[in-house]
Amino acid sequence: MMQLEYQEVFVRFWEQVKLSANEGTFAKVTLAKTIGKRELKNIFVRPISELEKEKVAVKLSFRPREMEDEVTVCTLEEAFKRVTPYLKSTFLSVILFSTEKDITFKINKKGVGSITETAPTFTNVTFFEE
């Protein structure tokens, strides 16, 4: 079995994010498990509203409480471009929470990506609120 570089696997993972958004089951994407102790703690991608399926809020959450979280409203494509640079350098896992299933993308020590599915954590879609 050929192992794919994490970038190719992440593109496939993000297709699931877009599909979930189009179907109205998209609850949240979380980039977690930072490498080392970093200021950037998490990145969250959340839907804005039921009417604007292509728009999401990307929130960079920082560890020191004094640091202001950064929120950007953008399309899913722009969100993909915004979070991709943090893969492998800052985060090794990304979780798509949908009302149908949770999909986890992970990068191993060799830089190989994998995708696993589990039962859904969320039963309802919650929209981003400032």
User: What digits encode the pLDDT tens for the residues 22-71?
Assistant: 999 999 999 987 877 788 999 999 999 877 777 999 999 988 777 899 99
> Which residue in this structure is represented by tokens 């009302």?
99
Q: What is the pLDDT of residue 3?
A: 67
Residue 1 lies in a domain: no
Residue 88 lies in a domain: yes
Record the pTM: 0.90
Q: What is the pLDDT of residue 101?
A: 97
Q: Which domain holds residue 28?
A: 6-118
Residue 64 structure tokens: 């020191």
State the DSSP code for 6: H
Residue 83 lies in a domain: yes
Residue 2 scores a pLDDT above 70? no
For residue 124, what pLDDT band results from cuts at 50, 70 and 90? Answer: confident
Residue 128 lies in a domain: no
